[in-house]
Amino acid sequence: MKAQFVTGVTHELKTPLAVIKLHSNNLANYHTRLPELKRNQLIQAIQEQVQLLGKLVEDILELSRLDSGLVEIERQPISLKQMIAQAVAEMQPLAAEKEITLRWQKSNPEILIQADKDKINRLINNLIDNAIKYTPAKGFVEVKIASELVDGQKKILFQVCDTGIGIPPKEQSRIFERFYRIDPSHTIPGTGLGLSIVKEIVTAHGGEVTVNCPPEGGSIFTVSLPEM
């Protein structure tokens, strides 16, 4: 498992480092001959790859902490509705940039859960970010919460639904694997670790995360957590 993880990290590092090296060499060798627009494009590309590397390091550290078993889940009463509302507000500019409608039913019930606030925030943001990434322009991403009784125990259901590219049935069982991508060409930016982190956080809270892809398209990610 550790060898596979190292291999995955190495693979994910190669592309951004290669892009940074290529563009920085072009700037160093030809900056006086390059038009200003081209120079700015190269600088922007380098900045984007540096940002991706930073996110990759952040995700690797988060997974390492979760894997260590030494991370204490600091449970406290938190309002899931309030946290989702905040995450949706923060993600609106990203959705707007792609002309995606990000919807959140403000009439959703007030639900309290005993959970680690920082980790649940990470979980929510990762799922919404993933939905936006894989949804084409003019599409929709909707966030829902509900409460239901399962085997005599009250469960909280948190869903992120999208009109994105969907996930082929044969790949749905692998979607939470580390570095696994539906888009192996890397045309969609990301570290390949976001959903793995979601699964680890959900498991640490005694919950479950599943994915369902309706025949009409899109994906529905459902997180089930024990209610307070």
Residue 123: strand, helix, or coil: helix
Q: Are strands 153-162 and 219-226 parallel, antiparallel or unpaired?
A: antiparallel
CATH value of 2-68 in 1.10.287.130, 1.20.1050.10, 3.40.640.10, 3.30.9.10: 1.10.287.130
> CATH second-level architecture of 75-226?
2-Layer Sandwich (3.30)
Asked if residue 130 lies in contact with residue 164, where contact means CB atoms within 8 angstroms, the answer is no
The Cβ of residue 181 has, within 10 Å, a number of other Cβ atoms equal to 17
- Report the alpha-carbon distance of residue 169 to residue 228 in Å, rounded: 34
Q: Angle of helix 80-97 relative to helix 117-133, nearest 10 degrees? A: 30
Rounded distance, CA 3 to CA 59, Å?
17
Who's near 76: CB < 8 A, 6+ residues apart? 114, 115, 116, 117
**Helix or strand or coil: residue 220?**
strand
Could you tell me the residue ranges of all domains in the chain?
2-68, 75-226
One-letter amino acid for residue 55 of the chain? K
The pLDDT, as a whole number, for residue 224 is: 92
The pLDDT of residue 187 is 66
Q: Under DSSP, is residue 99 helix (H, G, I), strand (E, B) or coil?
A: coil
pLDDT of residue 169: 85
In a structure prediction context, what are the per-residue pLDDT tens digits for the chain, which is 228 residues long?
A: 555 566 666 666 777 788 888 889 888 888 888 888 988 989 988 888 888 787 777 777 777 777 776 667 888 999 988 899 999 998 998 899 999 999 987 666 778 888 999 889 889 989 999 999 889 999 999 999 888 877 778 888 899 999 988 888 888 888 888 877 776 555 676 667 888 889 988 988 889 999 999 888 899 999 999 876
Would the CATH topology of 2-68 be identical to that of 75-226? no
pTM: 0.75
